[in-house]
Chain A
Amino acid sequence: MTITEAVSLSPPSDALARALLTGEGPDDLPTAYAVVACHSADPAVVATLAAHEDLLCVLAGPGGYLLVPCASDRMAGEAVRDLHVRLTGHTWMGVAWGTRKDLATVRATAADLLTLALASRRDPGVYELRHLLAGFAVLRRPDTSARLARLIEPVVDRPQLLEALRAFLAEDGNRAGAARRLRIHRSTLDYRLRAIERLTGARPTSPHGVLTLDAALTAHAVRSIRPSLPVL
C-alpha cells in the first residue's frame, strides 16, 4: 500500500496526524517522519499546506504541525526545504526527525525550534536543531536561561544598545554591515558594543561572546514570544 492510499483509507489527515504526534496511530504507516512546526502570518500559505495531499497536518490559525514521511535523519532538512521553497509567503519552520514511537518528543523539539527561530528574529526559513543548538540547550535548562535573561536585562533596558546588538547579530557579527544597517558611524557602533561588553561581560568580538549574547537575547525574548500552535 502506498502512503497516499494509506491516508485515504485512514481517518481524515488531521485525526491521523494528531494520533501520530501523541505516539498512537495505526501500524501500517511509514516508520519515520520529519515533524515540522510552522508559522506563517500569510493565510495563503496555510491554505496551500492544508490542500497538500501528501502531507499529514494539524493546522490552526497561523501555525501548525506537518508530518513528512522521511526515512533518514540526514534527508529530513532537505525534504522540508523542498517544501518550503514552494511556499510563497514568509514562513518559519522548525524541523525534527524521529521514528514513530518517538514522535511525541520529536514534536516538542520541533515546536521549541520554531519558538527559538521566532524569538531570535531569524529570517523566514527552515531550522534544524544544529542551527539553533545553543538556544535549544538553554531553553531546556530553566536555571541557565534565567541566568542568561538576567545577564542581558541591562542591554534590553537601553533601546540604543538593544538596536545595536540586534543589527550586529543580524549581520552575523559584521560590524561594518551593522553600522550601515543602522545608518550610524562605525565608531558609534564600536562604542555601543563596548558598552554592551561592559554591562554583560560578554565580548562581542569573540565567537563565544556572539553566541552568548544571541542566546541571552533569545532567552529573554522567549518569555514573551510563543508561536500559536494547535493543542493536540
Chain B
Amino acid sequence: MSSGDLVARLREELRPVYRDAARNAAGWEKRAVAVASSTGERLAEANVGRSHLVAALRLVDRLLTQTVALNMRAAVQVAAAGTIVGTEMLSAYHERRVAAVEPAGWPVPPAGSTVVAVRAAGSSPADVEKAFRDLEPDVVARLSGAGSTTSGHLLLPLAEVAATELCGRAHDELFGSVWLCVSGQTADDLPVVCKDVDELLDLVTSLGRPPGVYRLDDVLFEYAAVSTPEVTAELSRIVTPLLANPVLVETLMALVESDGNRAVAVKRLFIHRSTIDYRLWQVEQLTGLSPVHPRDLAMLSIALDVCGRVSTK
C-alpha cells in the first residue's frame, strides 16, 4: 500500500469517529476503540511498516482535527478521540505484528543490542556466521540460504556504532556481494526491529547501492522520502524532465561524484568548463533547482536515485 493510499484509507475510516467525538454522540468512545483496533489489526496483516503507519496516523489526525474541531468543546473531545485512536490502533497493530513473526529460538537480547540484516550472494550461511563468530563469540545467527546465497538476521550484543564497525571487519572477510544493514534501535522488540531493518535492506538494494555495510543514516533522506507521498510525488516531478535527457543526468552524476566541484567534474567528463556551465543552467531551467548550490545538488541526486530506480522496480 502506498503512503497516499494509507492516508486516504485512514482518513475514510476515522472521519466518522472524529465527527461523532466532535458532536459528543452517545457511545463514541466505544466505537472509536472498536474502529481503531480493527483498523490496526488489518494494517498489520497488510504488512504496513510501523514508522509508515505512525507518520500517516499523525497526518490524518491533524487533518481531521482541523476539519471537525470547530469550537473549544469539540476540540477537547476531538483531542480525546485522537488519543484513543492513536493508542488503540498502535497497540492492536503491534500485538498482531509481533504474533505474526515467529520469535522461536531468539534469546532475550541484552539491552543495547543491535540486529543486522544480511543478504549475500557468494557466501554461505556458515561462512557468514563464522566471519562474525570469529570477531564476536556471542553473536546469535538466524540465517538461511541455499549454496552460496544467504539471507537472515544476526543479533549482536553491541551498540549501533560498535556493531557497524564490526560488520565492516566481517564484510572484509566475506566473498561475493554482501549487504549488511545495521539497526539503530536497541533490540528490545526483536521481531519489529527485524522488520524495520529488512525495510532498510530492501531500500538499499532497490536504490542500487553497492554491497557493503549500511546504517539508516546512510539513506536517511531516501528513507524519509519514499515513505512520504507528497515528497515522492515532488521528487518525480523534479526528475521527469531530466530523465528525457541522459546527458544532463550524466553531468549531474559526475558533479555529485566530484563533491560539487565543477573543475573536477569537467575532467571526468572530458568537456569544457563553459559546456558544464551551460548544462547546469539547463538543469536549473528544467527543475527549478540549481546544481551549483550543494543542497540543491544533493536533492537532485536523491531525486534521481529514488525515482530513477525505486519507481522502475
Interface residues on B, range: 35 or more
A134 touching B54, Cβ below 8 Å = no
Q: Is the interface of A mostly helix, strand, loop or mixed?
A: helix
Shortest beta-carbon contacts, A-B, top 3: A211-B298, A137-B224, A207-B298
Given contacts A130-B289, A144-B224, contact A207 B67 (CB under 8 A): no
Residues 178-232 of A at the B interface (beta carbon under 8 Å): 201, 205-208, 210-212, 214-215, 232
Q: Is the CB of A129 within 8 A of B301?
A: no
User: What residue of chain A has the Cβ atom nearest to residue B287's Cβ?
Assistant: A130
Q: Which of A109, A128, A133, A201 contacts B235 (CB 8 A)?
A: A133
Determine whether the beta carbon of B293 is less than 8 Å from that of A172.
Answer: yes
* Chain B, range 81-137, C-beta contacts under 8 Å to A: none
User: A104-B66, A130-B289, A134-B221 are contacts. A211–B231 as well, Cβ < 8 Å?
Assistant: no
- Knowing A137-B221, A141-B224, the reply to whether A130 touches B238 (Cβ < 8 A) is yes
**Interface pair A23/B55, CB less than 8 Å apart:** no
Q: B184 near A147 (CB under 8 angstroms)?
A: yes
Taking A109-B230, A140-B228, A141-B228 as contacts, is the C-beta distance between A211 and B259 under 8 angstroms?
Answer: no
- Whether B6 is near chain A, meaning CB under 8 Å from some CB there, is no
A39 within 8 A of B: no
Nearest Cβ on chain A to B284's Cβ, whole angstroms: 12
Chain B interface, DSSP helix/strand/loop, else mixed: helix
Interface residues of A (CB under 8 A from B): 21-23, 73, 77, 104-105, 107-109, 128-130, 133-134, 136-138, 140-144, 147-148, 151, 172-173, 201, 205-208, 210-212, 214-215, 232
Q: Say whether A105 contacts B301, CB under 8 Å.
A: no
Residue pair A207, B220 in contact (C-beta under 8 Å): no
B144 interface residue per 8 A CB criterion: no
**CA–CA, A211 and B298, complex, Å:** 7
Interface flag for B147 (CB, 8 Å): no
| In the assembled complex, B79 has its CB within 8 A of some CB on chain A | no
